[in-house]
Each structure stands twice: as C-alpha cells, then as structure tokens.
C-alpha cells in the first residue's frame, strides 16, 4: 500500500466518521428519530465535497494538499 493510498483512505474514513457523528449528534439535539442521521450525513458529505471542490484542490473533492493527493499524481493501473 502506497503512502498516497493510505492518506487518501484515512481522509475518506475520517470525513465519513465525522459526518456520521454529526448526523447522530444533530438527531439527538433536534430530538428527531435517529434514522434521520443517514440523510443528514449524506447532506453533510455533499456539502463538504462542494466546499472542497471550490476551496481545496481544484477539480477534486479532496481536502488533502496537492503534494499528497492521489488525483494530483495519477499512476497507471
């Protein structure tokens, strides 16, 4: 496993965990059924991707710096 793949995987897992935790926290604070955590997490993921696409590395939804972003250094498969 390459360093870039590990960083990309860690970034995705970290954001997924944060979005899931926020979804659960929001449902708890709003006193709504917990099944709403999934659509809330989905909305958070879409919002994160939109913001990252404009503020992060152009053309990707990654928040990794260009020096370690796999999309910046594509390798042939």
Whether the per-residue pLDDT at 77 is higher than 60: the answer is no
Q: Which of 69, 28, 22 is nearest to 48 (CA)?
A: 22
Domain range annotation of the chain: 9-52
Contact criterion met (CB below 8 Å) for 22 and 40:
yes
Highest mean pLDDT of the ranges 4-8, 12-16, 64-68, 72-76: 12-16
Q: What is the DSSP secondary-structure string of 24-71? A: HHHHHHHT--GGGHHHHHHHHHHHHHHHHHHHSSTTS---S-TTT-TT
Q: Which two tokens stand for residue 10?
A: 């860690």
Whether the per-residue pLDDT at 70 is higher than 90: the answer is no
Tell me the per-residue pLDDT of 13-67, one tens digit each, with 9 for 90 and over.
999 999 999 999 999 999 999 999 999 999 999 999 888 888 777 777 778 777 7
Contact criterion met (CB below 8 Å) for 10 and 69:
no
Burial class (CB in 10 A: 0-12, 13-18, 19+), 33: exposed
- The predicted model scores a pTM of 0.76
């Amino acid at each position: 496993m390459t360093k870039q793949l590990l960083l990309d995987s860690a970034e995705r897992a970290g954001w997924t965990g944060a979005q899931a935790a926020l979804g659960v926290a929001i449902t708890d604070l709003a006193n709504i059924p917990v099944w709403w955590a999934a659509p809330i997490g989905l909305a958070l993921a879409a919002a994160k991707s939109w913001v990252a696409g404009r503020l992060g590395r152009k053309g990707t939804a990654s928040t990794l710096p260009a020096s370690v972003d796999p999309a910046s250094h594509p390798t042939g498969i």
